[in-house]
Structures are given as structure tokens and as C-alpha cells.
Structure 1
Amino acid sequence: MSGYLFDSHALLAFFQNEPGAEIVAKIMRSSMEQDLDRLICMINAGEILYLTKRRFGDAKKLEILSRIHQLGFKLLSVTDAIVFQAAEYKAQYAMSYADCFALACSIENSAVLITGDPEFQAVSHLVKIDWIR
């Protein structure tokens, strides 16, 4: 395992102090102590930013972006291979397209997927998932 890949569901729960935030914080602390990567797919980062802006405005969006960097997240660029794999997952499973990117990036990076999104139940046989709820 190279670390943990956090989907937008998990990070939004953390940043908005919603149910599951404590579990996300614990996983982050543990990953820092063990020097494991904290990853986020660029597509999911964009999802966090647009949802934050829509709900709370530009200032909060910029604050969240700054916190993502301060927490040492590695933002994963989206390669052609990831796009094609995400498209395959979208064709096969009832998941949002953004979630398919989190899945593809998690598998590509041998990372545990951190989420509370029930859509990932359908693909739990493909990747190790740590549930926040």
C-alpha cells in the first residue's frame, strides 16, 4: 500500500465537520505518522472546490484549497489511462463519473480508498475501502 486516496465525500465531511470527520482526521494523522501518502485525484479536488464555492463562496473555496496543500495531499493528474479506466467503470457500475476517477486512481496507486459514499459498495471487490460511516 502506498497510502490513502480520499474521495470528495470523505474530504467534504472532514472540511465541513460532518459525520465521519473524526474518522477522516484519524486516518490523516495515522498516514502522517507512518509517512504514507495522502492522495486526491484532481477530478475529485475540482469537485470539492466547485461544491464548496457553490455552498459557501469563493473565500471558503480558496481556504479549502489551501488546507488541501497544507495537509500534504498529493494531487494526482489524470492520465489518458485513468480517463479510459474511469470510463470503463462508469459503463459497468452505477456510480458518478467523478467517483469512477477516485476508484481508478486508487487502484492505479495501490491506495486504500477513503469514503463514506454508498456508491462504492458496488466496487468494494476491486479495491480496499476504509469507510468513514
Structure 2
Amino acid sequence: MNYLFDTHALITLFHNEPGHEIVQSIFEEIENGKADGFISTVTLTELKYLYFKRFGEDESEKRLHPILTSNLTIIPVTISIALSAGSIKKAGISLADAIIASTAREIQAVVVTGDTHFSEMGIEMKKYM
């Protein structure tokens, strides 16, 4: 199984929010080689922005370290992903989420998310809430 983590999923995991056990279980499957895990560069951007704004540079780097050293494969925004995102984006859905959805489609992954709007773009989801 291929899993692509949405920003919301990782924040839920890091902050032990409701549903974090499910996200943790998927993350452990990936770390143990039982599944393949991915993250978009857009998700890294969102996490860096949120943690930098709230905690500053040092703390944001510390919080991103577990992701950057994990078994997650980081997927850049390619031309194909960018163009696909422009086609599937809907009103009320952020451009970042459209890019994440397009990335999931490109790598044939299930999006780990608490956001229901991925289904509006035809993306399979693993919800934890």
C-alpha cells in the first residue's frame, strides 16, 4: 500500500490529537517496511511555515527532523503534478491540497488525512477522524 501524508495528518500525529493512533500505526508500517510512505514538498512547506510562525527557526527544524530522517519518500512538484492539480482543484479547496491530491494520483497513493475534501477531487483517503 502507498500512503501519502497530508499536513493535517502529521500535525495530528505530532500533537497527539484525536486520531493520532491511526496515523502512528500507518507511520510505523512504513518505518517497518510493510507499506510505502510519501510526503509532498508542499506538505513540508506547510509544516515549516506553521512551526516557524509559531515556534521559530530552531524549533521548526527540530519538529521537521523526524520526517526528514524517516522512510518517507519526498515527492517534488513536477510539471505533471502541477498541471493535474490545476485540473482537479475545486472552489473552497486550497491550492496546496490540490497539489497533494494530484501527487497522490500520480504515485497511486491513499491520502492519510482528516480532511474530507480530498474525496471531492476523486482521491482515495485513509481517514483517522
After TM superposition, the score normalised by the length of structure 2 is 0.90
Letter in 2 for 1:45: L
- Tell me, yes or no, if the aligned pair for 1:93 and 1:122 is still in contact at 8 Å: no
In the aligned structure 2, how far is the partner of 1:67 from the partner of 1:33? 15
Count of paired positions? 129
Equivalent position to 1:103, from 92, 101, 104: 101
Structure 1 unmatched ranges of 5 or more: none
Partner of 2:37: 38
Asked if residue 70 in structure 1 is aligned to residue 69 in structure 2, the reply is: yes
Q: Matched residues, percent identical?
A: 33
Partner of 2:112: 114
Partner of 2:123: 127
- Tell me, yes or no, if the aligned pair for 2:38 and 2:75 is still in contact at 8 Å: yes
* Mean CA deviation greater in 27-36 or 13-22: 27-36
CA-CA distance at 1:34 after TM superposition: 4.2
Structure 2 unmatched ranges of 5 or more: none
CA-CA distance at 1:128 after TM superposition: 1.7
1:88-118 Cα shifts (integer Å, max 9, x gaps)? 122x453111001110011110111100013
**Root mean square deviation, CA, Å:** 1.6
Letter in 1 for 2:112: I
- Tell me, yes or no, if the aligned pair for 1:5 and 1:112 is still in contact at 8 Å: yes
